[in-house]
Structure 1
Amino acid sequence: MIAALKKLLKQQLGEPGKLLSRQEAAAALLIEVVLADESLSGQEQTLLPGIIANLTGASAAEASELIQSAMARHEEAVSLFEYTDLINREFSLQDKQALILAMWQLAFADGELCQYEEQIIRKTADLLYLKHSELIQLRNQVSD
C-alpha cells in the first residue's frame, strides 16, 4: 500500500532533484505566451530561439533544447507560479523587465495581440511584482 502511494506521488511530482533552472523558467514563460492563442506562427517560431538566446545567454543549440523542454513542460503546466517563484528569487528587476519585454515582443510578432497572450503577460508581471506602469512602458516599447 505504501509503495503504491510512493509510486503515485513520484508520478505526480516528477523525478526528485529535477529542478527548474532560471533559463528553463524563462523559456517556459515565453512558450506560454506564444502558445496562448493555440498556434505558433512563423514569425514567433523565427523569433523565439534568438529571444531565448539573448535573454538567457544560451547558445543557439541550448536555446533549441530549452524550447523543446519548455514545450514538454507546457503540456503539464498548471500555473505560472512554479516559474515566477524561481524568477523572483533569481532575477534582478532589470532581468524581470527584460523577460516581460521579450514576452511582449513575441506577443506582437505575428502583427496582432491576442487577448490570451496579453492576459498571460499581465499575470506574469503581477506575479513578478512589477508595477502596472512598468508593464505598460514595456508594451509601448514594442508596439510603437
Structure 2
Amino acid sequence: MLASLQRWINDMTATSETQEPPTLALASAVLLCEVIRADYRLEPAELDALREELDQRFGLDDEALAELMDLAQHEAETAVDHHRFVRLVRDECDYEARVELVRAMWALAFSDGKKDALEEHRIRRLAELLHVSHSDFVRTRLLEQQRAEGAAD
C-alpha cells in the first residue's frame, strides 16, 4: 500500500512539474466556470452566456472557443485549487480588467434568471482573491442585476 501511495505521489509531482502554465484566456475561463458550477447545476443559458463572454473577450474562432470551454470546464472540475489561475489573472491584468472579470462573473450568475447564494459566495471569494474592492464587487453586482431585470421585462 505504501508503494502505491508513493507511486501516486510521484505521478502527481511529475504531472504538476511538467504541466504548462495556463494562458490568460484559460485562467479567465476557469474562473468564470467556477461561478456557473457553484450551484451544482450547469444551465444551458449559463453555458451560452459563458460562450458569448469568452467570444467577446478573446475573439476566438468557433473551434478554438469550443476547445477553450471544454478545457476550462475540465480544469474547473479537476483542479485541486485555483490559485494558479487567480494568480495569473491578478498578475497579468490591471485593476480595471479584474473588475471587468468580476462583472462578467455576475453576468453569468444572473444569466439563468436567478441569483444563487452559492454563486454569490463564489464571486465574493474570487473578487477578494483578485484584489477587487468590496465597493466594485457591489457596483458590478447591481449593474448586472439591473441588466438582468431589464432583460426580463
Which has the higher mean CA deviation after the structures are superposed, 119-128 or 9-18? Answer: 9-18
Q: How does 1:61-100 map to 2 (within 5 A)?
A: 61-100=63-102
TM-score normalised to the size of structure 1?
0.88
Per residue, is there more helix in 1 or in 2?
2
1:50 is matched with: 52
TM-score under structure 2 length normalisation: 0.83
Matches within 5 A, 1:1-144: 8-12=9-13, 14=15, 16-144=18-146
**Residues 46 and 14 from structure 1, CA distance in 2 versus in 1: closer, same or farther, beyond 3 angstroms?**
same
Percent identity of equivalent pairs: 28
Q: 1:13 to 1:132 in 2, by over 3 A?
A: farther
Query: Is the 1:49–1:67 contact (alpha carbons within 8 Å) kept by the matching residues of 2?
Result: yes
Instruction: Give me the whole-angstrom Cα distance separating, in 2, the residues matched to 1:69 and 1:135.
Output: 27
Give the CA RMSD over aligned residues. Answer: 2.2
Quote how far apart the aligned CAs of 1:5 are.
5.2
Query: Gaps (5+ residues) in structure 1?
Result: none
- List alignment gaps of at least 5 residues for structure 2: 147-153
1:6 deviates by 7.5
Separation in 2, partners of 1:90, 1:59: 23
| Range that drifts further, 12-21 or 63-72 | 12-21
Q: In the comparison of the two structures, how many residue pairs are matched? A: 143
Larger Rg: 2
**Cα pair distance change 1:92/1:13, threshold 3 Å:** farther
